[in-house]
Amino acid sequence: MPLSFHSRQVGDVTVLECSGQIVEGAESAALLRHLDSLLAMKSHVLLHLGGVDFIDSSGLGLLVRVTTRADNASGKLALCAVSPKIRDVLRVTRLHTVFETYEGESDAIAGLYQRPATRDRSFQAPEILCVDESADVLVYVRELLRQAGHPVVATGNLPDALTLLTATRPKLVVIGATLRAMRDTHAASTFNHRADALSVIELPADFSRDDAGEAGRQLLGQVNAIIAPAVPGPLN
């Protein structure tokens, strides 16, 4: 089966999900280029191998190389959902000790956030979790709060938000009105129930259409009333 992969961002972790076979050839070379591009930005990468059913010597060497590069680049590469077949390969080759491996994606993300080595400026434990369906709103709110000195993590869906809520234990949740009202799935119900125990700022339904400056000032005022920023940065 040909190798395919796609990535998504879960807070400060890039989840790269692979399916097929990691073997010598053009597809593995493409995977290596993609991993190198992520690590060049000092990313923390979680390689989800649940769909990988075969790996050859070249492919395993690729993973070892990338793990070493990640350590040298102040990034991090971890594995999760490793199939029994691939796990057996790692055991037989005694390379299981080279990789940081987790059973599932949620466990891995929690582990990456909670391990002391990752608590540096590029992977700071957040105080605020932002959740909104609009990628543009999410980027705006995230950068607005970061520039004001607040450590922030962000995602656009409730399943990933639930993972980040568990992993990072934020003091405050900033969330779009639509997602805050959702209770129709297990992830939505669990997330919003747990958020009820925290400070929550709900973005108005028309937030995306409001004047950016005024909306930003109002949001910062609400946030700063709950959490004092580490570095003052009010909007003028």
Q: What is the DSSP string of 164-185?
A: HHHHH--SEEEEEHHHHH--SS
Exposure of 78 in the CB half-sphere (CA atoms within 13 A)? 25
Q: Residue 118 has what pLDDT?
A: 43
Q: Which domains does the chain have, with CATH numbers?
A: 4-118 (3.30.750.24), 126-226 (3.40.50.2300)
Cβ neighbours of residue 184 under 8 Å, at least 6 residues apart?
A: none
DSSP category for residue 216: H
pTM: 0.78
Q: Is the dihedral of CA 121, 126, 130, 131 positive or negative?
A: positive
Q: pLDDT (tens digit, 9 = 90+) per residue, 163-206? A: 999 999 999 999 999 999 999 999 999 999 999 999 999 999 88
Q: pLDDT (tens digit, 9 = 90+) per residue, 11-26? A: 989 999 999 999 989 9
